[in-house]
Chain A
């Protein structure tokens, strides 16, 4: 990974003492923002500062689900644009992102959930996003392996079917964006930890790193689950975030049986079959904040129980690998994107919880616009930091209950 060889994205360069913009975190959002800063705005004197290696964070740990059927009118257009960017980026980056638009089937297990789904579907349709309500029989036709009997813990009443969503190869997005950004001159510095942000008269002047001070007037913190601690530690700004470990696992490879992403809020479980045949499945988050990224027997058991109820053909199948990452959750299940508020030249892009993969393409584009024009683009305005003190929390929680650490 850190060998003397040339990295996959391009040439290794010396860390300079100043850049037009510094990005803290070589994850999906940092890479995408740098790519668009260089490509769309001609701001190419950019350094990405990465403590470990690119893709170390959620970027390399997520379950790669993409979709645009969120609950609120602020979120849907952003995610819809992100969804539409996958085929475009595949061409632009000349990198196979393996977008498999197999569609998402979100199971509903009560009449109340069906009602909530109707609202969510109406929002999607209003914004021109394909999404339908289907009954249990139709769900069974889509996924014959589904157990629609009434004899399970949470019988299936129906589902929200969102055909344009699916899966994108997450590592390819990291590699493609890194190479794409580097082509325009963006520098990527791995094994470099940001340790502080220097300010003077309310303006950013420099970023302190484990390899020296970098002078800059603009800095973005997009360090995934580590952002909230960094922002508080460096600038004393507290965020409405709780950081929780979230786990995922894959089974042994099987013959094709699942051709849609299937998810269930009641079972706290979602699954899709990868192109290799493994069933990749994600679980609930830990119930208390922690940065361990460790796995628990609790969730292996939970996952096995849930899957063997609604996909009974998976009984007896073995899990091959399990891993954990961080989810930085906000009280309204929506991210925080802001800049030039507390300190001029300081931008933040965090609170992406377990949904920051599907958004990274569009967010990179708009955060780059924000940093280039120093004006918040309309589409990002609702995600501002001050919405919490104004009691303007977003209602993204409707489809998922019991997901906050406070329940």
Chain B
């Protein structure tokens, strides 16, 4: 299905110009006191939401930016994130 992604620099572009970068999991955990479980959670584990999720994208065939968007995984449509209403 067609997908468009809005790059903060280049604007709305064809989805195939981008590389998916994973679910947004917040900042990388601190090294101090890091357990294998917490590291694994950050590296591998996903929520696999069937609905809206915040996720990372990389404009690989464009400006090279990394950024986050909100997308509905059941429709492939970009949606406004909760921050947009603040």
Q: Chain A residues in contact with chain B, CB under 8 A?
A: 226, 228-229, 232, 238-243, 245, 287-292, 294-296, 298, 328, 331, 388-391, 405-407
Q: How far is the CA of A295 from the CA of B48 in the complex (A)?
A: 20
| CB-based nearest B residue for A245 | B1
**Beyond A388-B40, A406-B20, is A291–B50 a contact (Cβ under 8 Å)?**
yes
A290 and B19 contact, CB distance less than 8 A: no
Picked from A229, A295, A405, the residue with its CB within 8 Å of the CB of B49 is A229
Binary contact readout B14-55 vs A (1 if CB under 8 angstroms, 0 otherwise): 011001111000000000000011011100111111100000
Query: Which single residue of chain B is at the shortest CB-CB distance from A240?
Result: B44
A229-B47, A390-B36 given. 18 additional CB < 8 A pairs?
A226-B50, A232-B49, A240-B40, A241-B46, A287-B19, A288-B3, A288-B15, A289-B73, A290-B1, A290-B73, A292-B74, A294-B76, A298-B16, A391-B36, A405-B22, A406-B21, A406-B22, A407-B19
Q: Would you call A239 and B20 a contact (CB within 8 A)?
A: no
Q: What's the Cα separation between A60 and B37 when bound, in Å?
A: 36
Is B2 an interface residue when CB atoms closer than 8 A count as contact? Answer: yes
Q: Residues of B within 8 Å of A, CB-based: how many? A: 25
Assess whether B46 is in contact with A239, with CB atoms less than 8 Å apart.
yes
Is B75 at the interface (CB under 8 A from chain A)? yes
Tell whether, in the assembled complex, residue B46 and residue A238 are in contact, meaning their CB atoms are under 8 Å apart.
yes
- Provide the bound-state CA to CA distance between A104 and B2, in Å: 33
Query: Do A238 and B73 have beta carbons less than 8 Å apart?
Result: no
Minimum CB distance partner of B37 in chain A: A389
The reply to whether A243 and B48 contact each other, CB–CB distance below 8 Å, is yes
Q: B36: which A residues are within 8 A, CB to CB?
A: 389-391
**B16:A238 contact, CB within 8 angstroms:** no
Contact of A296 among B2, B22, B47, B75 (CB under 8 A): B2
Q: Please name all residues of chain A whose beta carbon is closer than 8 Å to the beta carbon of B2 when the two chains form the complex.
A: 296
Chain B nearest CB from A336 CB (Å) reads: 11
Residues of A within 8 A of B47 (CB): 229, 232, 238
- Most A-side CB within 10 Å, residue of B16, B37, B48: B48
Q: Judging by beta carbons under 8 Å apart, are B37 and A232 in contact?
A: no
Closest Cβ neighbor of B57 among chain A residues: A288
B45, A291: Cβ atoms under 8 Å? Answer: no
Q: For the complex, give the distance between the alpha carbons of A146 and B56 in Å.
A: 41
Q: Are A228 and B46 also in contact (CB < 8 A) when A290-B76, A406-B22 are? A: yes
Cross-chain contact A287 with B46 (CB below 8 angstroms) = no
Asked if B48 and A239 sit within 8 Å, CB to CB, the answer is yes
Given contacts A287-B20, A296-B1, contact A242 B74 (CB under 8 A): no
Residues of A contacting B46 in the complex (Cβ-Cβ under 8 angstroms): 228, 238-242
* Docked-complex contact B45 and A239, CB < 8 angstroms: yes
A205 vs B3: C-alpha distance in the bound complex, in angstroms?
42
Q: Contacting B1 at CB < 8 Å: which of A294, A390, A391, A406?
A: A294
A389 to chain B, nearest CB (A): 4
Q: Which residue of B lies closest to A293 (CB)?
A: B1
Q: Is the CB of A229 within 8 A of B48?
A: yes
Q: In whole Å, how far is B43's beta carbon from the nearest beta carbon of chain A?
A: 8
Of A226, A239, A292, A407, the residue contacting B75 (CB under 8 A) is A292
Which listed residue (B3, B20, B74) contacts A405, Cβ 8 A? B20
Q: How far is the CA of A388 from the CA of B74 in the complex (A)?
A: 27
CB-based nearest B residue for A387: B40
Residues of chain A within 8 A of B75, CB atoms compared: 292
Contacts of A405 in B (CB 8 A): 20, 22
12 contacting pairs across A/B (C-beta < 8 A): A229-B47, A229-B50, A238-B45, A240-B40, A240-B44, A241-B48, A243-B73, A290-B1, A290-B74, A389-B37, A405-B22, A406-B22
**Nearest-Cβ distance from residue A286 to partner chain B, whole angstroms:** 8
A331 touches B16 (CB 8 A): no
Q: Are B15 and A238 in contact (CB under 8 A)?
A: no
Residues on the A chain within 8 Å of B16, using CB: 287, 298
Who on chain A is nearest to B53 by CB? A289
Q: When A and B form their complex, which 3 residue pairs have the shortest distance between CB atoms, in order from nearest?
A: A240-B44, A238-B45, A389-B40
A238-B46 Cα distance, complex, nearest whole Å? 6
Q: Are A289 and B44 in contact (CB under 8 A)?
A: no
Residues of A within 8 A of B49 (CB): 229, 232
Q: How far is the CA of A407 from the CA of B20 in the complex (A)?
A: 8
Once the chains bind, are B41 and A292 in contact (CB under 8 Å)?
A: no
Q: Are B3 and A240 in contact (CB under 8 A)?
A: no
